[in-house]
């Protein structure tokens, strides 16, 4: 269907690409700027209500201020034409996650990447005081590179669709309503986090947790039924993930995760812990006890460590390359401190996301540098920022902050501005490492950036408190 009557003259060649309970969406060309855009028109039955028209426009203008976030669909224009309000936004050529789900469930890697991007957008909106109210796969749009961008902030509320007690409820939306919304209560950031949990459940299992042919039955289940087992729905998922969904889909909003980023981090952690990593060392020569894990920080560089009630850093495996590097390093450590080259065969069994890979790596170490020193292995240092962050974290765990520092600095430099959860982790790790070394450079700024991405964390607040006085400008 092609039409130009419904849109201002500026938007030409309009073609309807979607229709929903709140209106229609058209793809058009902005003749002034020469770019493809998507134009959303409020449905005629809603446009007849002056109060709804006003709310629609106000919500669209409020959402427009979020457009600077890379994971939020940019709004170019808001107006009214022919008595119907419209929103002009960037056109996403990759379709939506709703369309993607029609081909089956996503892989864990795909799901985590999409959820991470959606989480970044939602947490940013919540920090600005904006609640989405209608988080669902149809509002998670994909660009040509397959990255998720969140659309339609606040529009459900403007059109009166954010609660089953209101007229005009859309069937597809009911599947993602938080219990409090289903009961007619006001939506909050916790409601968005619940909906993202439903989306995560659907991406990983292929179906919504309380899926039903009846809107009422599904909404009632959200409010009353126990959370089903995701691992039972999809046997390829570990049982550890069920506890994450129990919290994400808790009936009580206060029992849910404190941020969307925290929810995604918990999913990563559950998949990582279940995947695990097993290394068996077969020595070609007599082995020796491992040297100390790392140098003990001197009193001058030791600071109080923040409590770690929950793991902050990612534990997910970063691939076979990093695993091989780790295996080579461990084999080198077994060579002790003499100058005799020694050969080690490292047999690694790595299980991740339902796939088991067994790899044997045979290496020959070069001359040692003395007891407790570093042994050259000839293995290249990792360059991927996620791998750099993970290796830096392992050195932090060993107390070797001096060698962790350049790895984490490189990781943060490469990740800067991506807004990914890995950037959040690397920023915290670098801040913590610098503080341990008595270096205040950028510590508070790094903590601020980490919190901007993943929301409030007790660990960040504790380190900020410890660092505020010594690192204050």
Please give the full DSSP string across 393-461, using - where no structure is assigned: HHHHHTT-HHHHHHHHHHHHHHHTT---HHHHHHHHHHHHHHHHTT--TTHHHHHHHHHHHH---HHHH
Nearest to 174 by CA among 189, 195, 197: 195
Domain co-membership, 439 together with 354: yes
Q: Is 50 within the bounds of a domain?
A: yes
Domain co-membership, 210 together with 358: no
What ranges in 183-259 are assigned the alpha helix state H?
189-205, 215-224, 230-233, 240-248
CATH code, domain with 39: 3.30.200.20
Domain co-membership, 286 together with 410: yes
- Is the pLDDT at 185 greater than 90, yes or no? no
- Predicted pLDDT of residue 276: 55
CB 280 within 8 A of CB 132: no
Domains contained in the chain, number: 3
Q: How many residues does the chain have?
A: 473
**CA–CA–CA angle 137, 318, 208 (5° rounding):** 20
Q: Specify which of 171-185, 368-382, 409-423 reaches the highest per-range mean pLDDT.
A: 409-423
CATH code, domain with 311: 1.25.40.10
- Is the pLDDT at 337 greater than 60, yes or no? no
- The per-residue pLDDT of the chain, averaged, comes to 75
Quick one: which H or E segment has residue 171? helix 171-174
More confident residue, 160 or 30: 30
Domain co-membership, 303 together with 171: no
- Is the pLDDT at 137 greater than 80, yes or no? yes
More confident residue, 230 or 66: 230
Domain co-membership, 40 together with 138: no
Domain co-membership, 329 together with 289: yes
Name the residue with tokens 């500026």: 10
CATH code, domain with 230: 1.10.510.10
| Rounded-to-integer distance, Cα 197 and Cα 178, Å | 10
Domain boundary among 275, 290, 324: 275
- Predicted pLDDT of residue 315: 37
- Is the pLDDT at 173 greater than 90, yes or no? no
- Predicted pLDDT of residue 280: 28
Q: Is 453 within the bounds of a domain?
A: yes
- Predicted pLDDT of residue 150: 93
| Residue 381 pLDDT grade (very low, low, confident, very high; cuts 50, 70, 90) | low
Domain co-membership, 101 together with 244: yes
pTM (predicted TM-score): 0.58
Q: Is 134 designated active site?
A: yes
Taking residue 289's Cβ as centre, other Cβ atoms within 10 Å add up to 7
Domain boundary among 90, 122, 137: 90
Q: Is 24 within the bounds of a domain?
A: yes
What ranges in 254-400 are assigned the alpha helix state H?
260-275, 320-333, 385-397
Active-site residue (options: 49, 69, 77, 134): 134
Q: Is 186 within the bounds of a domain?
A: yes
Q: Is 6 within the bounds of a domain?
A: no
Domain co-membership, 450 together with 303: yes
| Rounded-to-integer distance, Cα 200 and Cα 139, Å | 14
Q: Is 2 within the bounds of a domain?
A: no
DSSP character for 92? Answer: -
DSSP character for 139? Answer: G
| Residue 334 pLDDT grade (very low, low, confident, very high; cuts 50, 70, 90) | very low
253 burial type by CB count under 10 A (0-12 exposed, 13-18 middle, 19+ buried) = middle
Domain co-membership, 85 together with 225: no
- Predicted pLDDT of residue 80: 87
| Residue 292 pLDDT grade (very low, low, confident, very high; cuts 50, 70, 90) | very low
Q: Is 355 within the bounds of a domain?
A: yes
Domain containing 50: what range?
11-90
**Lowest model confidence (mean pLDDT) among 314-323, 407-416, 428-437, 460-469:** 314-323
Domain boundary among 22, 56, 90: 90
Share of the chain above pLDDT 70, in %: 70
- Predicted pLDDT of residue 451: 82
More confident residue, 389 or 311: 389
- Predicted pLDDT of residue 382: 67
Tens-digit pLDDT profile for residues 247-274: 999 999 999 999 999 999 999 999 987 7
CB 306 within 8 A of CB 459: yes
Q: Is 5 within the bounds of a domain?
A: no
- 389's tokens: 């962050």
Domain co-membership, 271 together with 305: no
- Predicted pLDDT of residue 155: 63
| Rounded-to-integer distance, Cα 14 and Cα 79, Å | 16
Domain co-membership, 305 together with 426: yes
Domain co-membership, 461 together with 343: yes
């Amino acid at each position: 269907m092609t039409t130009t009557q419904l849109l201002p003259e500026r938007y030409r060649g309009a073609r309807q690409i979607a229709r929903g309970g709140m209106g229609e969406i058209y793809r058009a060309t902005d003749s002034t700027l020469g770019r493809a855009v998507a134009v959303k028109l409020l449905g005629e039955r809603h446009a007849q209500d002056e109060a709804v028209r006003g709310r629609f426009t106000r919500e669209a203008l409020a959402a427009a201020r979020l457009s600077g976030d890379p994971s939020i669909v940019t709004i170019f224009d808001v107006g009214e034409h022919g008595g119907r309000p419209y929103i002009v936004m960037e056109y996403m050529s990759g379709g939506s996650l709703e369309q993607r789900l029609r081909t089956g469930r996503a892989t864990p890697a795909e799901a985590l990447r999409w959820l991470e991007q959606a989480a970044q957008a939602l947490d940013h909106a919540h920090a600005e005081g904006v609640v989405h109210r209608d988080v669902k796969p149809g509002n998670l749009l994909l660009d040509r590179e397959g990255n998720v961008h969140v659309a339609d902030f606040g529009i459900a509320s403007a059109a009166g669709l954010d609660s089953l007690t209101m007229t005009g409820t859309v069937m597809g939306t009911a599947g993602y309503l938080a219990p409090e919304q289903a009961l007619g209560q006001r939506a909050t950031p916790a409601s968005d986090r619940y909906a993202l949990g439903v989306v995560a459940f659907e991406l990983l299992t292929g179906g919504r947790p309380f899926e039903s042919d009846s809107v009422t039955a599904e909404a009632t289940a959200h409010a009353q039924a126990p959370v089903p087992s995701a691992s039972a729905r999809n046997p390829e998922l570990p049982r550890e993930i069920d506890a994450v969904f129990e919290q994400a889909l808790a009936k009580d909003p206060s029992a849910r995760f404190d941020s969307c980023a925290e929810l995604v981090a918990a999913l990563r952690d559950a998949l990582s812990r279940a995947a695990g990593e097993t290394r068996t060392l077969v020595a070609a020569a007599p082995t020796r006890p491992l040297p100390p894990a790392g140098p003990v920080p001197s009193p001058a560089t030791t600071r109080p460590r923040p409590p770690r009630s929950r793991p902050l850093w990612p534990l997910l495996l970063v691939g076979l390359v990093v695993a091989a590097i780790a295996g080579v390093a461990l084999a080198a450590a077994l060579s002790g401190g003499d100058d005799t080259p020694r050969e080690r065969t490292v047999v690694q069994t790595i299980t991740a996301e339902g796939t088991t890979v067994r790899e044997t790596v045979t290496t020959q170490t070069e001359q040692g540098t003395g007891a407790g020193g570093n042994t050259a292995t000839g293995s290249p240092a990792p360059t991927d920022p996620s791998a750099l962050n993970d290796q830096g974290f392992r050195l932090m765990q060993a107390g070797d902050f001096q060698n962790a520092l350049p790895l984490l600095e490189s990781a943060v430099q490469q990740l800067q501005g991506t807004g990914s959860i890995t950037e959040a982790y690397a920023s915290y790790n670098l801040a913590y490492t610098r503080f341990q070394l008595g270096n205040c450079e950028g510590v508070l700024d790094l903590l601020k950036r980490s919190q901007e991405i993943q929301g409030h964390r007790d660990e960040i607040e504790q380190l900020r408190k410890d660092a505020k006085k010594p690192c204050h400008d």
